[in-house]
A and B are shown apart, each in its own frame.
Chain A
Amino acid sequence: MAGTLAEKVWEAHLVRRGEDGSPDLLYIDLHLVHEVTSPQAFEGLRLAGRQVRRPDLTIATEDHNTPTLDIDLPIADTTSRTQIETLRSNAREFGVRLHSLGDADQGIVHQVGPQLGLTMPGLTVVCGDSHTSTHGAFGALAFGIGTSEVEHVLATQTLPLAPFKTMAITVNGQLPPGATSKDIILAIIAKIGTGGGQGYVLEYRGEAIRTLSMEARMTVCNMSIEAGARAGMIAPDETTFEYLKGRPHAPEGADWDAAVAYWRTLRSDDDAEFDAEVVLEAADLEPFVTWGTNPGQGLPLSASVPVPAEIADENERVAAERALEYMGLEPGTPLRDVKVDTVFIGSCTNGRIEDLRSVAKVIKGRHKSADVRVLVVPASARVRLQAEAEGLDVIFKEFGAEWRNAGCSMCLGMNPDQLAPGERSASTSNRNFEGRQGKGGRTHLVSPLVAAATAVRGTLSSLADLDLPADVDLTTFDGSPLDGVGAAVPDTVVVELPLPLPVLR
C-alpha cells in the first residue's frame, strides 16, 4: 500500500499494534530532556522504583531557565537554580548525559540534537517541549509531550499513541528576495489557523521547501505546533545528508551507507493519500508579521492593523478586539508605523548560525535605532562559538546589540530576559501569546531579516525599507557565510565524556 512519509516512520516503530480501539505502542529512538518538564517525571520514577530504561537514547540540556549573562556566577533566581540543580542531580542519579550551562554543547534542546548529529531521518524523537516538531525537518517523526509522557518514555522507551491524520502542505515556486522560511510558516499558520493542524502531522513539500537549507527547514517545522499540529516533516534529501555527514553522532562507514540507503526511501509515495492538502505559491509571499496574540493573527508587513468591525465571524471579531486592546494597536494603522522597544533575535525558531549570519549581513556597518534594545541570543553555545569564529559578534556589538550566551531567553522569559509591561518587541521567536515574553509584554513575530531591518529603523520594517548596498545579495541569506569573513568550522574530533558529567559549579 502506498504510504506517506509519516506513516512509513510510524510503521517502522510499531512495537505493538493497538487492538479494540487501544492506541499503538511506538518505540522512541531519541528522548531529549530539559530542566522544566522533567523534575516531576524523574520523581515519578523514583517513587515507583523505576530506572531509565535507555539512558543511551536520552540526552539532557539546560536551556529554559538559564541566564544569558554572567553564566559563570550562581544563578540569582533561587527557584531557577533549584530546578537546574534538580536536573543535574537527576542526571547523575539516573545516568543521563547532560550538557550544563558553560559546556560548549549546552543550548536549546532543539539545536543540541541536530548539531550533535543525533537527530536523523526516520527517527521518532520526543521531548517535553512542544517545539520538538523542529526535528521533523530531517524526516523524523518528532513531537512534544507532557511530563507524564516524559516519565513514560524514561521508564519504557515507548509511547502509546493513536495514529495521526496527515496533511500535505505544498509550497510551489521560489521565495521572492527578502522573504524567508519564517514567512512561509507564518503565512501557513495565518492561512490554516492555530487549530488548522489539529490531529495532523504536516508534511511540507514543493520546490520552495526543497530549496531551503536544513536550518531554514527547521524553522518551518518548528512552528508546526503553532498551527495546532503535533509534528511537521520534510522528506530527507541531499541537503539533509550533507548537513548530517561528519557530525559527532552521525553514522560512519557501512552504517552511514546503510542509513542513507534507507533514508532515500523515506518519502511519501507518489500515489499516497493525505487526509488534507494545502497549497501555497511562494512567489505570493512577502515578509510577514503578527499583529495579535496568537501566531495565526499575522499579515504581510505591507498591510495595516485589521479593523475588527470588518471581520464577519463573531468569535474572530471578539478575539481580534481583545488582541488589539492587549497589543495597544489602533485598527487601520499601517504595520510599518508600529514602533518597537526591543528586538529579540534568537530561540529554537531562529537562533541558529544562518539566522545570525543573515542578521549580520543586514546590519553590518550600521548602528541600531537609538531607542531600541537589541538582544542577540544564540540557540546554543556552539552557535555562539561559531559566530565568534566568523566575527559576527563584533558586527552585533558595533551595531549596539547585546551579544548573549545561549538559551531560550526572551522567547518565553523564564530567565531574566523579559519585556516590561507594555513594552513592544519584534521577535524572531514562535509565540506572541499574552505575557509570553514577560507580563504585559507585546510581541510581534518576525523573520530574522525583518528583525534586523526593524532594529535599524525602530519601526516594523523589511529589507525593502533599508538602503542596502547594491552588492548585498538578497537571494543567498540562508546558508552562506558573510563575504570576507572566515567561516572555518572546527575539526570534528570526537571525544568521550566522563559520565555522569561533572555539573555543579
Chain B
Amino acid sequence: MEKFTTHTGVGVPLRRSNVDTDQIIPAVYLKRVTRTGFEDALFAAWRGDPSFVLNQDAYRAGSVLVAGPDFGTGSSREHAVWALKDYGFRVVLSSRFADIFRGNSGKQGLVTGIVSPEDIEILWKILETKPGTEVTVDLEAKTATADDVTVPFQIDDYTRWRLLEGLDDIGLTLQHADDISAFEAEREAWRPKTLPAKHLPSVEVVPARPAGSQA
C-alpha cells in the first residue's frame, strides 16, 4: 500500500446524510472481477443529474470529499472504496462513518477523517462559496485546512499508523503465524468443519420458468 502523509486537492461538498454504499456504487456495477476501473460507477445514479456536485466543472477534479453524517452505510461492498479511489478521491471527511466502510477504506489507503458536524458545516460553506478551493489533509497532524481555516479530524491510531507506513494487514498478521497455529491446536472438536461436506440427500431442483410458460 502507498504511504499517505499529506494530500492537497480540490474539496467537494456533498451535502447529504446517510450516503449508503448503494448510492456510492449501485449493485449492477459489482459484477466485475477486477479491483480497478470503477470510476464511472461512482455515484452513478446522481451523476445523471447535471446539478450534482461532481458535474460542476469546479469540483470535477475533486479528491477530498466532505460529506454529511453516516457516510458509507449499508452493504459491505469494498467496491464503494475502489470507486471513490478510482475517481481520484484520497480522503473523505464526515462527522460519522459506517463501520464496515471505514474499515474497508483503511485497508485501501483512503483516509476517512471524522470531523465535528460544526466543522463540516464550515468546510461546506468555504467549498460552496469558493468552488475549487483546495483542502490540505495532514495525516500526521490530523488536520484538514481549507483557505485560512484548519479543522482537526479523528482517525484511529492503528489505521493512521498503517496508512503513514503504507503497511499491508496480511503481512502484519502473518508475523504472528505461530500464535495462530497454537490457537488452532487448542480448538474444540465440536466446532464445525465444512469439509468433508455433509448435507441432505441431493434432490433435483426444478428450474422455474417465466410467467406464462409456467405449468
Contact = CB atoms under 8 A, between A and B. Distances in A.
Interface of A: 15-16, 18, 21-23, 25, 27, 29-30, 36-37, 39-40, 43, 48, 50, 55-59, 64-65, 68-73, 77, 79-80, 82-83, 86, 97, 102-106, 116-118, 120, 123, 128-130, 144-149, 151-152, 155-158, 160, 162, 194-195, 198-199, 225-226, 228, 230, 248-249, 251, 255-256, 258-259, 262, 294, 315, 318-319, 322, 381-382, 384-385, 397, 402-405, 412-414, 431, 433-436, 439, 490-497, 499
B76 A104 contact: no
B184 to A, nearest CB: 8
Contact of B158 (A23, A256, A439, A490): A23
A102 B203 CA distance: 10
B175 to A, nearest CB: 10
B70 interface: yes
B18 interface: yes
A128 B179 contact: no
A413 B211 CA distance: 18
Interface of B: 16-18, 20, 22-23, 26-28, 30-35, 45, 68-70, 73-79, 81, 96, 98-100, 103-104, 107-108, 156-158, 169-170, 172-174, 176-177, 179-180, 183-184, 187-205, 207-211, 214
Given A385-B203, A414-B30, A195 B69 contact: yes
19 contacts: A15-B180, A16-B176, A21-B156, A37-B77, A69-B207, A70-B210, A73-B207, A103-B205, A128-B76, A128-B78, A129-B76, A145-B76, A148-B104, A160-B173, A195-B18, A262-B190, A414-B30, A495-B199, A499-B196
A158 B196 contact: no
A158 B187 CA distance: 14
Contacts of A493: 200-201
A48 B187 CA distance: 28
Nearest to B157: A21
A404 B208 contact: yes
Contact of A439 (B45, B76, B98): B45
A199 B154 CA distance: 15
Contacts of B157: 21
Contacts of A117: 192
